[in-house]
Amino acid sequence: MMKVECTRLPSGLTVVTERMPHLESVALGVWIKSGSRDETVNEHGIAHLLEHMAFKGTKRRSARQIAEEIENVGGEVNAATSTETTSYYARVLKDHVPLAIDILADILTDSTFDEEELRREKHVILQEIGAADDTPDDVVFDRFAETAYRDQTVGRPILGTPETVMSFTPGQIRHYLGRNYTTDRMFIVAAGAVDHDTIVRQVEERFSTLPVTPLSTPVLDTARYTGGDSRESRDLMDAQVLLGFEGRAYHARDFYCSQILANILGGGMSSRLFQEVREHRGLCYSVYAFHWGFSDTGIFGIHAATGGENLPELMPVIIEELRKSSASIDQQEIERARAQIRAQLLMGQESPAARAGQIARQMMLYGRPIPNEELMERLSGITIERLTDLAGRLFFDTTPTLSAIGPLEQLAPMGDILSSLNIKPAAVQALAG
C-alpha cells in the first residue's frame, strides 16, 4: 500500500516520501518555489542559467565527476526551470539513494560557479535560445506570454536574451541563489522504494548548510493580465496560431472548472475542437485547448497549426465553438473529462518520477499532499451551469490575447476577432492603449 509521509525539519526544509511497493528504484529531487518570475529586471534568464551551472562543478566534484558518479550506478540526474519553480532530480536504484542525495546536496550547497565553466555554459544557452527561435511552435508561446503579461517577469521567456545571459557573473548567480534558495521555499520529495526515516536523516545531514532566511528581499511582482495582439510573418509552410484569455489561479474557485472546460474543448480526439476543426472540416493538423494555472493568475488558450490559406475559416470556427460552450455542455462531456483526469492521476502513480513531481507541486501550491479522492471530489462538484457560466466569463468578458507566426496574410485583423467575440468597448480601448 502506498503511503505519503511528510516531515518538516527544524531548519524549515520539508521532506516528503511515498513508498511504492514492488519497485526497486527511487525518483527523488529538490523542488524550489522559485523560477524565472523571481528574477529582477536585470536578471532575465538567470534562474535557468543557475540550473545549468549547478552541474558544472562543486568544491568536491568536477562537472565530469558529477555525471560519472551518478551514471556509474546506472542512475540519471537532470533539472528543469519553469516560471514559478525549479527542480533538480535523480532516478536511481534503491541502494544508491544516499549517493543521489549527496550529489543533489553538493550541487545546491557547494557549487563553485567557475568562470571558465560559466563562459562555456553561456554559449550553450545561446545555442538553446537560437534553437527555440528556430522553432515556430516555441516562439508562438513565448510571444503569447509576453503579450498577455506585457512588461512583466511572468511573461518573459525563461531562457532570457543573448544580451542578459552573456552579462551574468558568478556573483550575480550567488546573489539570486541566496535570495531564493532558502529552506522555507524548498521541498525534497522521493517516491519509490523509499524508507522515510532514513531519507529524513540523510537529508538533514547533507542539506544542513542551506540558508534559512534570504540574503535580500525576494521579488514580489503581482501579475496583471493585459491581453493584446502579436503577429510575426515568416516564410513557413504552416501558421502557428494561439488565441487565449486570462485563466484562473491555482487557488481560485474556478481552477478545476477551467481544467474540465479545457478538456471538453480540446483535450483529446473526442473533444469539440478536434472533432469540428480537424475531423469534420479538415482545417488544421493540430488543435487543442489548455489551461495553465499560476499562483495569482492563469492562461486559457487554444493552439492551432494550419496552412495560411485555412486561416479565414479557422478563426470563426474556433470562436463559434467557444460561443457554443457558453450556451450548452452535455453531462456526458463532463463525465468523459473527469474520467480522463482520473486516468492521468492514476497512471501518474505508476511512475515514481511522475508521482514525486505531482507531490512536489501539491506541497508548493497547497502546503500538503492532496489525496486523489479529494481531487476527484472537487471535480465531482462541477456542473453544467458552472461550466457554461465560466465559458461566458472567460471568453466574452475579457480582452483576448492573440499570438501568431507564419504566413499570416489571411489572418483576420484583431478588431474583427474582438467584434466576433462581442468584447465590450472598454476592453477594445484598453487593447488599443
Question: Residue 229: how many CB atoms within 10 A of its CB?
Answer: 18
Alpha-carbon distance of 141 to 57, in angstroms, equals 33
Please return the burial class of 367, using the count of CB atoms within 10 Å of its CB with bins 0-12, 13-18 and 19+. exposed
Q: Which residue has the cell 474557485?
A: 253
Selection from 190, 189, 173, 191 nearest residue 181 by Cα: 173
- 29 contacts: CB under 8 Å, gap ≥ 6: 87, 88, 89, 90, 104, 188, 189, 190, 356, 357, 360
Within the chain, how many helices (H) and strands (E) appear? 17, 11
Tally the residues of the chain.
433
Report phi then psi at 111, rounded to 5: -65, 145
Q: Which residue has the cell 487593447?
A: 431
- The set of cell numbers assigned to 377 is 471530489
Q: Which residues are the active-site residues? A: 51
Question: Residue 40: how many CB atoms within 10 A of its CB?
Answer: 15
Quickly list DSSP for 364-424: HHHSS---HHHHHHHHHT--HHHHHHHHHHHHHSS--EEEEEE--TTSPPHHHHHHHTT--
Quickly list DSSP for 127-171: HHHHHHHT-HHHHHHHHHHHHHTTTSGGGS-TT--HHHHHH--HH
- The set of cell numbers assigned to 181 is 534558495
Alpha-carbon distance of 91 to 190, in angstroms, equals 10
